[in-house]
């Protein structure tokens, strides 16, 4: 098998692979929202509610620890 043939196969299968992943991702997004596991649309509020003292949509555990320490 010469390099050209290898290149052809590689591009074909990688493309298929990535397309499958992409579609898998679409299904994952909608299914996990339907099942109520996660609400993706709430992340849209990150742009709207972005004051430094407004509550994060999801608290980063690392900085939360710092904060509680700071409050002592």
Partner 1 sequence: MFHWLEKNPFLFSVGVFLVIAFAGLVEILPNFAEASRPVVGLKPYTVLELAGKEVYKKDHCIACHSQLIRPFKAETDRYGQYSLSGEYAYDRPFLWGSKRTGPDLHRVGNYRTTDWHENHMWDPKSVVPQSIMPAYQHMFTNIADIDTAYAEALTVKTVFDTPYDTPNGVKLGTLDEAKAAALEEAKAIAADMKNQDVKDAVANGQIPEIVAIIAYLNRLK
Partner 2 sequence: MQSNAALEYDYSVAKLFTYTTILFGFLGMLIGTLIASQLAFPELNYLLGEYGTFSRLRPMHTNIVIFGFTLSGIWATFYYVGQRTLKVSMAESKFLMFIGKLHFWLYFFGALVAVVTLLMGISASKEYAEFEWPVDVVIVLVWVLWGISIFGLIGIRREKSLYISLWYYIACFLGIAMLYLFNNMEVPTYFVSGGIGSIFHSVSMYSGTNDALVQWWYGHNAVAFGFTVPIVAMIYYYLPKESGQAVYSYKLSLLSFWGLMFVYLWAGSHHVLWSTVPDWMQTMGSIFSVVLILPSWGSAINMLLTMKGEWNQLTENPLIKFMVLASTFYMLSTLEGPIQAVKSVNAIAHFTDWIPGHVHDGVLGWVVFMIMAALFHMAPRMFKREIYSKKLMEAQFWLQTTAVVLYFTSMWIAGITQGMMWRAVDEYGNLMYSFIDTVAVLHPYYTIRTLAGVLYLVGFLMFAFNMVKTMTASRKLEEEPQFRSPMAA
Interface residues toward partner 2, by CB under 8 A: 8, 11, 18, 22, 25-26, 29-30, 33, 40-48, 50-54, 56-61, 63-64, 67, 70-71
Is-contact 29 41, C-beta < 8 A?
no
Judged by CB under 8 A, the chain residues 16 through 55 that form the site for partner 1 are: 18, 24-25, 28-29
Those residues whose C-beta lies under 8 Å from the C-beta of residue 40, and which sit 6 or more positions away, are: 29, 33
Contact set with partner 1 (CB under 8 A): 3-4, 6-7, 10-11, 14, 18, 24-25, 28-29
């Amino acid at each position: 098998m010469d390099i050209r043939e290898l290149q052809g196969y590689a591009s074909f299968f990688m493309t298929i692979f990535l397309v499958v992943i992409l579609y898998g991702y679409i299904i994952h997004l909608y299914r996990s929202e339907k099942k109520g596991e996660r609400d993706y649309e709430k992340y849209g509020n990150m742009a709207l509610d972005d004051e430094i003292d407004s509550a994060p949509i999801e608290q980063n555990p690392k900085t939360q620890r710092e904060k509680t320490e700071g409050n002592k």
